[in-house]
Amino acid sequence: MSARTLTDGQIVMRSLRARPLSTWITISMVATSVALLLVLLGMRSAARGAFDRGSGNIHLLVSADPSPLVAVLNGIFYANSPSKPISWAKYQSIRGAFPYQWAIPTQQGDSYRGFPTMATSADFFGKFEPVAGEPWKLASGRFFERPFEIVLGAAAAKGSGLKLGQQVFLTHGSGASREGGEPEEHAGHEHGEFPFKVVGILEPTGSAHDRALFVDLESSWILHAHDRRERAGIEGVTTSADLEDDDRKVTGILLRLPTRAGSDASAAMQQQFDTLRRDTAIVVAQPAQQIQKLFEIVSNVDGIFIAMAVVVLISSALSTMLALYNSMAARTRQIAVLRVLGASQGRVFGLVLTESLVITMSGALAGIALALLGGIAASAWLKASIGLVIDPSLDPRSTVIVLGGTVALGGLAGLLPAWRAYQVPVADNLRPAA
């Protein structure tokens, strides 16, 4: 065991331990501020990450919505049911006009207990990936293979409580079905004649698709053809044989352009985007671009939150300064004694500055731990409750910046108390107390 000595670090720690309440409160304030700032920064990137999920390997999204942003919000995030359809002929025309890797038709509009339904083709599960590089995975069952089979997103399955083999009646529109117990005026009408059988439940993808239910297009067309026939007074069960061209509608087309091997980008992207935009009957969106636009819209609010967190952090630095500065009044004798023993003014200055840095560094590290633990807990809860996948890890760049900024603030906060310690008149503070 090495011989004991007294070091500057031990003197600093003793000084902090001599006033535990003040020290812990100040460290807690710094920790809370740092955690708040990191959580806000983390939420910003996590939210961005969550929005980036869902459009997956789509290059272009076509719909008849009023704008490309609305097309993305409706078609990928299920914000609302698209109000205008695209005819099947139009879909075929678009698909045939260019050698797309795939062109997947989708139709939205129905729902089950508030969970939106997406009617689509088998390619939706076979070719489209909700998150690029992460294909669909089944938690149980299989994908739909024939009409009136339904596959549930992870959050929809959890929220509805539906199990494999159960029957589901979809509701026209976004209102809840009768089983949902919604007031009649808020509910769309139920397609009671056409039960769907739950054949598959998907693994969570961390995207809005987790809240959806998936059926094949023909089933959806039959439901709406049946409504048309009822309105026309035609009785009997509607089948695919009863479908007319006007029944075959879609509300969106997911497009992927040819790419070079190993690349997600397509050289034809801009040209094809411009070509499709010339068609005034449709809108065409590049999902990534629209998501960027969405974030630009909310970035001001985002900035206000970050600014508030920075203000809280500065407040905690000011508290550190006040706590240390006020402690100086009670520590002038200790400082004078250290000076008598041989400590220079600079060394005393350094000791007090180090105290400030220890407080803020401890607070910053505690804040990082707090943010990390909070992130893990929140991430687990979000995934379990709504199937939202949020990466709980802290952004290393933000963490280093916040840590460095906090320590720098701690250094600034320590300057005034350290200067006061530097100026302590030694001889005057060695006299017996009055």
Residue numbers of the site for other proteins (CB under 8 A)?
2-7, 10-11, 14-15, 17-18, 333-334, 336-347, 426-427, 430-433
Strand 149-152 relative to strand 196-202, pairing: parallel
Helix (H) or strand (E) holding 293: helix 287-341
| Cα angle 207-210-214, degrees, rounded to a multiple of 5 | 125
Cβ closer to other proteins: 317 or 343? 343
* Cα distance between residue 9 and residue 18, in whole Å: 14
Cβ closer to other proteins: 11 or 40? 11
Q: How far is the CB of 6 from other proteins (least distance, A)?
A: 4
Q: How far is the CB of 423 from other proteins (least distance, A)?
A: 13
Q: How far is the CB of 20 from other proteins (least distance, A)?
A: 11
Contacts of residue 228, Cβ cutoff 8 Å, sequence gap at least 6: 247
User: How crowded is the C-beta side of 127, counted as CA atoms within 13 Å?
Assistant: 17
Q: How far is the CB of 324 from other proteins (least distance, A)?
A: 16
Cβ closer to other proteins: 5 or 263? 5
Cβ closer to other proteins: 122 or 340? 340
Q: How far is the CB of 354 from other proteins (least distance, A)?
A: 15
Cβ closer to other proteins: 20 or 99? 20
What pairs with residue 33 in β-bridges?
none
Q: How far is the CB of 42 from other proteins (least distance, A)?
A: 40
The 3-state DSSP class for residue 167 equals strand
Confirm if 251 and 81 have CB atoms less than 8 A apart: yes
Please report the beta strands in 138-206, taking only residues with DSSP state E, as ranges in sequence order: 138-141, 149-152, 167-168, 171-172, 196-202
Cβ closer to other proteins: 113 or 339? 339
* Cα distance between residue 58 and residue 127, in whole Å: 10
Cβ closer to other proteins: 197 or 333? 333
Cβ closer to other proteins: 305 or 419? 419
Label residue 236 exposed, middle or buried (CB < 10 Å: 0-12, 13-18, 19+): exposed
DSSP 224: H
Cβ closer to other proteins: 234 or 430? 430
* Cα distance between residue 212 and residue 231, in whole Å: 29
Contacts of residue 64, Cβ cutoff 8 Å, sequence gap at least 6: 82, 83, 84, 85, 86, 251, 281, 282, 283
- Contacts by residues 372-375 (CB-CB < 8 Å, ≥ 24 positions apart): 374/35, 374/39, 375/39, 375/42
Contacts of residue 183, Cβ cutoff 8 Å, sequence gap at least 6: none
Tokens of 300: 């001001």
Q: How far is the CB of 342 from other proteins (least distance, A)?
A: 2
Tokens of 132: 């690029």
Tokens of 212: 């959806």
Q: How far is the CB of 50 from other proteins (least distance, A)?
A: 51
Q: How far is the CB of 353 from other proteins (least distance, A)?
A: 16
DSSP 178: G
Q: How far is the CB of 366 from other proteins (least distance, A)?
A: 24
Cβ closer to other proteins: 73 or 348? 348
* Cα distance between residue 362 and residue 358, in whole Å: 6
Q: How far is the CB of 9 from other proteins (least distance, A)?
A: 11
Cβ closer to other proteins: 18 or 307? 18
* Cα distance between residue 35 and residue 38, in whole Å: 5
